[in-house]
Amino acid sequence: MYQDNPFHNFEHAIHVTASVKKLLTRIVNTDEGNGLETNVAHKSTDDMDLVDLAGHSYGITSDPLTQFAVVLSAIIHDADHPGVPNTQLVKENTECAQIYKKSIAEQKSVNLAWDTLMSEDYSALRACIYQTESDLKRFRQLVVNTVMATDIADRELQALRKARWETAFSKVESAIVHADEDVESEDRKATIVIEHLIQASDVSHTMQHWHIYKKWNEKFFMECYGAYREGRADSDPSETWYKGEIGFFDFYIIPLARKLQNCGVFGVSSDEYLNYATSNREEWVREGESIVQMYLAEYNKRAAT
């Protein structure tokens, strides 16, 4: 289901899924400790009881269908990714671009995975996921919405998400519904939290240890530079990679980490993500230019063998 791309491959899907699981478990928060309620006998975070904090998790932790939908979405979100962005697919006028028009790779991933799930081979799994037509529709909508949220290059979609966030988590609305949140407000916040949870997980390497960030950054460079060398990109990414990463941190990663912090859902993880993002940006400013040259040397070394 996944192609052998340097970055958008099954290893990336697993990394994103692990990050989703981490954030979901951090939503299950208690007032004391690290936010995880563990099996007392074994003292292991692998055996957790879900604890819903009314007014903080927006019902996510008390809804197994939502949790499973988000995890499944992480696994499938880049299925059959072509290794180039949607804009390139439009330029090449690929079959998928003709079919989907917007969020091309994301819609293809959803449809491919959904067709697989609906096959006879997975009838037993489907019976475990949902039992009613209503649950099936809600499950599909959750999966579609979550995977579509990973399309961060579409400015129109990003503007809509930003507006929804500002409406849902504005201080004015919080003051109005904090004591007694209505269902519509809670559902809206749950949707927005899930969108940002999957977005943060999709780029979680930028908010983890430096060596993890550098590993995945190199993989993404190799994919983008390889596409350029194959004639599937208009410009040489090595010429803008250093400054582009700084801009990515300043205008997407750090603001995203702050949103995780401001929504008040993820406990200690929000501080952790923001601290790593800030630290990685500082390290990249110091070392990034020489690192890009190392990437180029490594690409040429591999190409020569």
More confident residue, 177 or 94: 94
Q: ∠22-134-73 over CA atoms, to 5°?
A: 30
Q: ∠149-222-156 over CA atoms, to 5°?
A: 25
More confident residue, 78 or 159: 78
Residue 85 above 90 pLDDT?
Answer: yes
Rounded to the nearest 5 percent, the helix, strand and coil shares of the chain are 70, 0, 30
Closest residue by Cα to residue 186 from 199, 173, 196: 173
Query: Crossing angle, helix 10-27 and helix 210-229, to 10 degrees?
Result: 140
- Per-residue pLDDT at 38: 39
β partners of residue 44: 39
pTM summary value: 0.88
- Per-residue pLDDT at 185: 73
The model's pLDDT over 7-49, given as tens digits with 9 standing for 90+, comes to 999 999 999 999 999 999 888 443 333 333 434 444 444 444 4
Q: How many CB atoms lie within 10 A of CB 125?
A: 9
Q: Considering the chain, what percentage of its residues have pLDDT values greater than 70?
A: 86
Q: Considering the chain, what percentage of its residues have pLDDT values greater than 90?
A: 71
When pLDDT is cut at 50, 70 and 90, the band that residue 269 belongs to is confident
Cα Rg, the chain, nearest whole Å: 20
The set of residues, in sequence order, having a beta carbon less than 8 Å from that of 103 and lying 6+ positions away, is 86, 148, 151, 154, 157
When pLDDT is cut at 50, 70 and 90, the band that residue 56 belongs to is low
Q: What is the mean pLDDT of the chain?
A: 88
When pLDDT is cut at 50, 70 and 90, the band that residue 176 belongs to is very low
- Per-residue pLDDT at 171: 57
- Per-residue pLDDT at 126: 98
Closest residue by Cα to residue 99 from 116, 112, 114: 112
- Contact between 37 and 49 under an 8 Å Cβ cutoff? The reply is yes
When pLDDT is cut at 50, 70 and 90, the band that residue 181 belongs to is low
The model's pLDDT over 208-263, given as tens digits with 9 standing for 90+, comes to 999 999 999 999 999 999 999 999 999 999 999 999 999 999 999 999 999 998 88
